[in-house]
Amino acid sequence: MTAALRGIYAIWYREALRLRRDRLRLVGHLLSPLLFLLVFGVGLGRTIGGLTPGLDFISFLFPGIVGMSVLMTAFMSGISVVWEREMGFLKEVLVAPIPRASLVIGKILGGATVALIQGIIILLLSPIAGIELTPGVILRLVPLMLLLAASLGGLGVLLASRMYSMEGFQMLMNILVMPMVFLSGIFFPVQNLPIWLGVIVRINPVTYGVDAIRQVMLGDAAPQLLMFGEPVSITQDILAVSTFGAAIVVLGIWSFSHQD
């Protein structure tokens, strides 16, 4: 095994080991999506009613909650970079005889793994939303959730590479990530929006990750995301998220390569 691969594995394993030792962290990350599901899905579902024939609001909302849980957990993994900088551990990693790319990829994969585990746990709640998930559907969802987690986790690592306090990182999350969540079609269909809002939704990479998860879970009942009047396919969703994720990884490697 090369030094680069050993470095990736060591960083990934450290992130996974942290979850194993701090299981309360996983419970804490579950509370937010559960709260949204109960308040918006159960609380407002009766008021909003059906969105399309055969699709009620809680069924529409559930795939979005899965996507939100995955991306927020993955993004928050970037805070470990800030914590390690404050503790002095990051400096030791940066001077280690491994490529800086190993640090970035290991961090992203570690955060994505934790986010994927949480996403799978949320999937167990699908009966609440009246959604039946077959083993085939779950097998299709896992790589989609992992791709979304890696892309948004990469964004968290990139931003954390330039942050020097956890308070600053959390503030940045409120400024950047929360609008990305709310403007991605998680909580409302993206059809018939004002033009300016529709443009923002369609340049948001989270939109395509959520749309892919929703299409796989709901099939033909899923509301269509349109681009230039044509429905966006799952393949196009994957391409959009993958392109964003690849660009973020390159920028993350560049950012860490220019640090002492």
Give per-residue pLDDT as tens, 238-248: 999 999 999 99
Question: Measured between alpha carbons, how far is 145 from 210 in angstroms, rounded to an integer?
Answer: 9
**Per-residue pLDDT for 212 more than 90?**
yes
**Per-residue pLDDT for 24 more than 70?**
no
pLDDT tens figures, 117-133? 889 988 888 887 778 88
**Per-residue pLDDT for 19 more than 80?**
no
More confident position, 7 or 135: 135
Main-chain phi, psi angles of 120, to 5 degrees = -65, -40
Interval 49-62 mean pLDDT: 72
Least confident of 143-147, 160-164, 206-210: 160-164
pLDDT for the residue 9: 85
CA distance to 114, 129, 141, per residue, from 138 (Å): 17, 16, 5
**pLDDT band of 211, cuts 50, 70, 90:** very high
% the chain with pLDDT above 70: 88
CA distance to 45, 122, 143, 208, per residue, from 37 (Å): 10, 10, 23, 20
Most confident range (mean pLDDT) of 33-47, 135-149, 246-260 is 135-149
The answer to whether the beta carbons of residues 131 and 221 sit under 8 Å apart is: no
pLDDT for the residue 145: 94
Helix axes 135-160, 79-87, angle to 10 degrees: 40
Taking all residues of the chain, what is their mean pLDDT, rounded to a whole number?
83
**Per-residue pLDDT for 235 more than 80?**
yes
% the chain with pLDDT above 90: 23
pLDDT for the residue 133: 85
Q: 37: which residues sit within 8 A by CB, 6+ positions away?
A: 58, 61, 62, 65, 125, 128, 129
DSSP string, 138-207: HHHHHHHHHHHHHHHHHHHHHHHTT---HHHHHHHIIIIIHHHHHTTTSSS--TT--HHHHHHHHT-HHH
**Per-residue pLDDT for 45 more than 80?**
no
**Per-residue pLDDT for 218 more than 80?**
yes
pLDDT for the residue 210: 93
**pLDDT band of 43, cuts 50, 70, 90:** low
